[in-house]
């Protein structure tokens, strides 16, 4: 019995000695899954990282030669050229002449006495205004000079006069009054926007102020009669 125990103890001792000397085929140690990562970060080269250069800011795009060429081909606005004193006097003269001719026509063709009365006032006032216009031209040794504005006013007045010649009765009365509203508004706008701001001669500026007063008064009379005829 004692011999058996000694034998067992001897075998165990031999096994421990062998294990302590590294004997046997042991498996390589493994890093636990929850082991902390190394505190030293990998370098950019070790991680295979490529450093990218930020894109350059694009240069501003200039207008193409075609766009510049098309801009150069655009016609200039000749109407923006300020009118001279001679052109201003011509514009007013043309407007007066158109109103005088239509007023004479209305006094012979109108049926409504109110229309005849309006036409008589138009002929009287515009005839007086035209006489002053031509006196300024003569006194200041000027010449009447046409412009786009005077040409447009003259063409429009001629068209309206031809239209009125073809009308009769109540249609003529209404058409004449409507024409006076339209034409006097156009002349008033021209005086305010083109003539007064550009007139140089002091006598001409005084004359334009007088003409504007008359034109504004005519416009109100014509509008009032237009409203009455529409009832």
CATH number for the domain harbouring residue 141: 1.20.1260.10
Residue 1 lies in a domain: no
Residue 2 lies in a domain: no
The predicted-structure confidence for 159-194, as pLDDT tens digits, reads as follows 999 999 999 999 999 999 999 999 999 999 999 999
Task: For residue 50, give both structure tokens.
Answer: 């490529």
Which DSSP symbol is given to 195?
Answer: I
Q: What is the pLDDT of residue 62?
A: 46
Residue 182 lies in a domain: yes
Q: What are phi and psi of 78, to 5 degrees?
A: -70, -25
Q: What is the pLDDT of residue 80?
A: 73
What is d(CA 130, CA 143) in angstroms, rounded to the nearest whole number?
Answer: 15
The predicted-structure confidence for 187-213, as pLDDT tens digits, reads as follows 999 999 999 999 999 999 999 999 999
Lowest mean pLDDT among 3-17, 85-99, 103-117, 143-157: 3-17
The predicted-structure confidence for 51-70, as pLDDT tens digits, reads as follows 444 445 555 444 444 444 44
Q: Which domain holds residue 157?
A: 81-229
The answer to whether the CB of 178 falls within 8 A of the CB of 167 is no
Q: How far is CA 133 from the centre of its chain?
A: 37
Residue 35 lies in a domain: no
Q: In total, how many domains does the chain have?
A: 1
Residue 109 lies in a domain: yes
The answer to whether the CB of 182 falls within 8 A of the CB of 154 is no
The rounded radius of gyration (Å) of the Cα atoms in the chain is 52
Residue 14 lies in a domain: no
């Amino acid at each position: 019995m004692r011999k058996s125990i000694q034998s067992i103890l001897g075998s165990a001792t031999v096994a421990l000695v062998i294990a302590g000397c590294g004997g046997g085929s042991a498996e390589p140690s493994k890093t636990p899954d929850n082991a902390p990562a190394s505190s030293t970060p990998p370098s950019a080269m070790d991680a295979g990282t490529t450093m990218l250069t930020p894109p350059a800011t694009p240069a501003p795009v200039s207008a193409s030669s075609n766009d510049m060429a098309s801009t150069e081909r655009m016609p200039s606005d000749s109407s923006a050229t300020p009118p001279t004193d001679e052109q201003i006097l011509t514009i007013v003269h043309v407007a007066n002449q158109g109103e005088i001719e239509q007023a004479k026509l209305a006094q012979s063709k109108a049926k409504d006495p109110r229309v005849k009365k309006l036409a008589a006032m138009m002929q009287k006032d515009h005839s007086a205004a035209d006489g002053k216009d031509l006196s300024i031209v003569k006194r200041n040794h000027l010449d009447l000079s046409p412009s786009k504005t005077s040409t447009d006013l003259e063409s429009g007045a001629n068209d309206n006069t031809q239209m009125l010649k073809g009308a009769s009765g109540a249609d003529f009365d209404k058409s004449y009054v409507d024409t006076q509203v339209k034409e006097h508004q156009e002349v008033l706008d021209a005086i305010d926007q083109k003539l007064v701001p550009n007139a140089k001669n002091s006598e001409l500026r005084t004359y334009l102020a007088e003409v504007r007063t008359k034109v504004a008064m005519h416009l109100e009379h014509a509008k009032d009669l237009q409203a009455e005829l529409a009832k």
